[in-house]
A and B are shown apart, each in its own frame.
Chain A
């Protein structure tokens, strides 16, 4: 009896082996390269992330039409982490361990990125992160194609200080209460003080996610702005809270000519939900605007509107960052001749990809890219009119030069093989 049991389990084991061998054989026969897409399709962040999923699907379909990569077709694997931060880690693990994807494109909020980091390190895979963020990070497995603070926040403040921007002397830093606004505001506060702005001319304010009753906050801004000095608001308000904020600004009659508001998280997509006329002249700082006229951009917009079957579909900055990240990955895979993550990570720094707005983005050794910076004023039709741009591309800084803890840190994955090399102590491992 016992002997039979052993035999049967051995048989089962053997059957199992054969099956799994068959399965891998089948996968090889498919000859596809799998690419993971990790964006929330439900929950609070769906409003922003669903678009990026569609953009990725369009880019992959387009690449396949061109013949794929390394002679193989790309196969997108879409998962829905449902705006739930721990679920991001679970879904990332599922993509890498179960679906065996070669790279993942995804995440929007910083907290979701932080949540998947350990998974990417442990399973050694690649994440392309397409959203502007607070910096203070450089990981071997992550490539940041959105803006670092020195590619968005600092140029925006410089503009508002300049004569063209109105020569602001008094500053309101208004943000949603989480890591991105808090870190960005810390950097901006240090930067403003280094430019000689006294502490009493800076007001910092935080509101919860999804905040909708802006009456008090807006009247506070109004009172702060009527002290005789030119005042500007730097808004790191994220997500849904923006619409009621701008509605209240319009209702309380704060015009851009009195107190301009520059936003870092408001793009074409967000403005689609608001009547933009009362907001004319308020600003946004991005590395891409739909209204920028280049042949590449016009073609991209045309393809996007055809893909969405909606002639009014808008494009935005994180979509361009996804576009750059995806094309860089394709070029790196072709350069490395394999999809093996280690080889692709080594191949990525130095890869170049044309921006949609002109100029060429280069992947830097710190895993950030070079970007142009644009300041746009909101127009009545919900688009942006570019009123200022940097004359050259700005390289992304992983570690802010304004903060004490990060001033001496350097990220270089090519020569130093370290994301937080301390130039004072000459050691890898932070401050």
Chain B
């Protein structure tokens, strides 16, 4: 009886095997083309294990045993057979199945089809996006079934967009269907939609061409407006970085009048402190990693501030009132600090990780906003307001202002001016260190980090008006936005040059910057 059954199975399975090659064997094959065929075959086979196998492949957890070409999946609990899900023995000869971009693209498209019926709405949405991108006609039946029972409005929309895209890409779609699909694509209104409509410009049917043309025009207008807004946003974001870099200098240079060429190195020290804090957290307490930046802020402030106080005590205090010597001495200090860090940590970049809340982007009415940049904008404003509060509302701020406005009078009132000088310089340096924490997220953590910001920081402070914090804020944002509005038209190199010329001309007209301080303190 059993023999008969086997025979029957073989009889039925035989022709099927001859028609479609076994996708598992293809996945274990050598060339990328074969692996790709295996992925597509597996997705189309309806095998319930297809999803697990494909996600293992895309994560590099799908292994092949060289001896018998069997596929295995590495799971947190241990190895399992890919085909059956049965537990398997570990084996040092196991090699991962390799994927290149071509294979990964097919995986994404196939996963799209498989995940259309996933119980999680986010997965289904992702799947719809993948189908939209792949535009594979084979996905149409799955899409129709999924669409029929979809309840979530957002996912529904993504699915109908995907369906429209597939229909428009498929040869032989009826005219009426095409005309119905175009508005759905037009409503999406982004660059991808425009690409699809552009593809219709060679359509044999005139009505379709005309509808596509109208759609393109509508999307173009929308994209132009969005593009301008996006540039303003980028400008604000660049401005916030400039503000962060310059705000410490607004204290040391703006308020105290020290031409501090080592300012950039304070930023660099802050970034390296972040790196050290993260390293310590990684080895000692990995659970704290999402908080690593928050922990780094006070540490960076203390480290950079302490170095600042030391520089003031041992170098700058002998040079007050001699700007040229200060410039040279602090430049020397900056070189010493750079080389010291280079000797300690090596010349190569250090990796500072981004906590999950700072990576990725979200869509804000068509604007793409990256989380990291948004947090940096908020952070720079917080630092600015905090500094303003310290200078305006605390006794230390009062003393700082008194000393910088009239040193002898302040001394006569019983303020220990050298003490205030050192602390003020330390405050400016500490703020620069805090800036380093944020900049470590967007720039290289290398000994040269500070050099890239020193010129820009001086520009911002001089442009805004020396000695005026609000001026620094306005100047940073202005320079950022102007730079980013010019960049798409003239390129990054010319935009920067143009900005420099603009500032030179501006300083000719208003030597004291945007917000000049008035009064006797300035005249003396």
**Residues of A in contact with B (beta carbons under 8 Å apart):** 41-44, 46-47, 50-51, 163-166, 177, 205-208, 210-213, 215-217, 219-220, 222-223, 225-229, 240, 243-244, 247-248, 250-253, 256-258, 260, 269-270, 272-275, 278, 281, 283, 377, 379-380, 385, 387
Contacts and interface: CB of A to CB of B under 8 A. Distances in A.
Nearest to A216: B487
A181 B446 CA distance: 23
A327 to B, nearest CB: 26
Given A226-B192, A240-B452, A387-B98, 20 more contacts: A46-B342, A50-B346, A165-B102, A166-B105, A205-B491, A206-B493, A207-B491, A215-B484, A219-B230, A219-B234, A222-B191, A225-B191, A227-B195, A227-B198, A228-B199, A251-B370, A252-B361, A257-B101, A270-B349, A278-B359
B198 A281 contact: no
B445 interface: yes
B234 A216 contact: yes
Contacts of A51: 348
B372 interface: yes
A47 B133 contact: no
A269 B348 contact: yes
A229 B195 CA distance: 8
Nearest to A272: B348
A124 B269 CA distance: 45
Contact of A243 (B338, B353, B360, B444): B444
Which secondary structure dominates chain B's binding surface?
helix
Contact of A47 (B195, B223, B446): B446
B106 to A, nearest CB: 9
B372 A47 contact: no
B339 interface: yes
Interface size class of B (residues with CB under 8 A): 35 or more
A389 B338 CA distance: 40
A252 B493 contact: no
Nearest to A45: B347
A344 B499 CA distance: 52
Contacts of B452: 210, 212, 240
A159 B467 CA distance: 57
Contacts of B349: 47, 240, 243, 270, 272-274
Contacts of A165: 101-102
A206 B497 CA distance: 13
A211 to B, nearest CB: 6
A211 B443 contact: no
Contacts of B190: 226
A426 to B, nearest CB: 41
Contacts of A46: 342, 347, 447
A273 B484 contact: no
B230 A253 contact: no
B470 interface: no
Contacts of A251: 359-361, 370-373
Interface string B110-146: 0000000000000000000000010000000000000
A251 B372 CA distance: 8
Contacts of A379: 60
Contacts of B196: 228
A262 to B, nearest CB: 11
Nearest to A256: B101
A267 B346 CA distance: 17
A273 B445 contact: yes
Contacts of B448: 43-44, 47, 210, 240
Central interface residue in B370, B371, B488, by most chain A CB within 10 Å: B370
Contacts of A41: 347
B100 A377 contact: yes
B45 interface: no
A379 B59 CA distance: 11
A273 B348 contact: yes
A385 B347 CA distance: 26
B443 A166 contact: no
Contact of B492 (A211, A243, A270): A211
A283 B493 CA distance: 26
A49 to B, nearest CB: 8
Interface in B177-218: 190-192, 194-196, 198-199
Nearest to A209: B452
B234 A257 contact: no
B368 interface: yes
Given A50-B347, A166-B105, A385-B98, A227 B361 contact: no
B288 interface: no
B89 to A, nearest CB: 25
B168 to A, nearest CB: 11
A278 B190 CA distance: 23
A186 B317 CA distance: 54
B348 A164 contact: no
Contacts of A278: 359
A206 B491 contact: yes
Contacts of B194: 226-228
Given A270-B349, A272-B348, A213 B98 contact: no
A304 B46 CA distance: 50
Contacts of B441: 247
B456 to A, nearest CB: 10
B442 interface: yes
A239 to B, nearest CB: 9
B274 interface: no
A366 B218 CA distance: 57
A275 B372 contact: no
Nearest to A388: B100
A172 to B, nearest CB: 13
A45 to B, nearest CB: 9
A273 B351 contact: yes
